[in-house]
Amino acid sequence: MQLQDILYTQGFGTRRVCAGLVQQGFVATGGAVVTDPAADLPTDGLRFTVQGAAWEYHDKAYLMLHKPAGTECSQKPSTWPSIYTLLPSPLRLRPNKGAVQGVQAIGRLDQDTTGLLLLTDDGQFIHRMGSPRHHVPKVYEATVKHPLDAAQIERLLAGVVLDDDPKPVRAAAGEAVGPLHLRLPLTEGKYHQVKRMVAAVGNRVEALHRSAIGALALPEDLTPGQWRWLSAAQVQQLRDGR
């Protein structure tokens, strides 16, 4: 692929801007500056720098982000800063089909909810992970106001009725990790679901954190506000539902 097209697919601007970056000597690969925008380079495992910033070619972007509290999962936030401001510009500007540019969050977390969030520019992957019929489990760690008891856990497992749906909503599993710490895996994604389910059994969520999606757990060394690429194995694992 021509270098100017490589930069364009990775979100470094229009093709004209990308050609200009190359011609001005701002792009290097293998430690050597390349000034020909039409230089043909293999993309497999390609690493390069743009104005000194290191980058690796990815045909599709698959990321994990540790969402901090006080952020919104929206391109146009209303009150709180957007999670997208935590990402480098190329990830926000990657060309995409349709009107929306860049990577998109798969599902949303409330502004006060922290934890694992997946982002991608792969529409099929978004559908696979976000569709209710695929039943991808998501594990939530809830800090509750009142001490948990066995009856509350049993009701969550048996199913509780929320005010917008007469059909009971059940937790896939649930356990009291501590007196005020509830671990709740869910396969659905209703609005404020964890908070409303806990309220339905007579308790209240004081803090909420998503610790895992499918078999992918939030790494302990990924601190709030940080992101990283998913490995090919992690992406495949999520596709396979493992």
Question: Is the distance from CB of 30 to CB of 42 less than 8 angstroms?
Answer: no
Handedness of CA 74, 77, 80, 86 (dihedral sign): positive
- Asked if residues 190 and 108 have their Cβ atoms less than 8 Å apart, the reply is no
What is the per-residue DSSP string for 116-138? EEEEES-HHHHHHHH-GGG---E
User: Is 110 a residue of the active site?
Assistant: yes
Strand residues in the chain grouped as ranges (E): 27-29, 32-33, 47-50, 53-56, 62-67, 104-105, 113-120, 138-144, 160-162, 165-169, 175-178, 181-186, 205-213, 216-217, 227-229
Task: Name the token pair of 29.
Answer: 């690969």
Q: Which of 59, 110, 163, 164 is catalytic?
A: 110
Instruction: List active site positions.
Output: 110
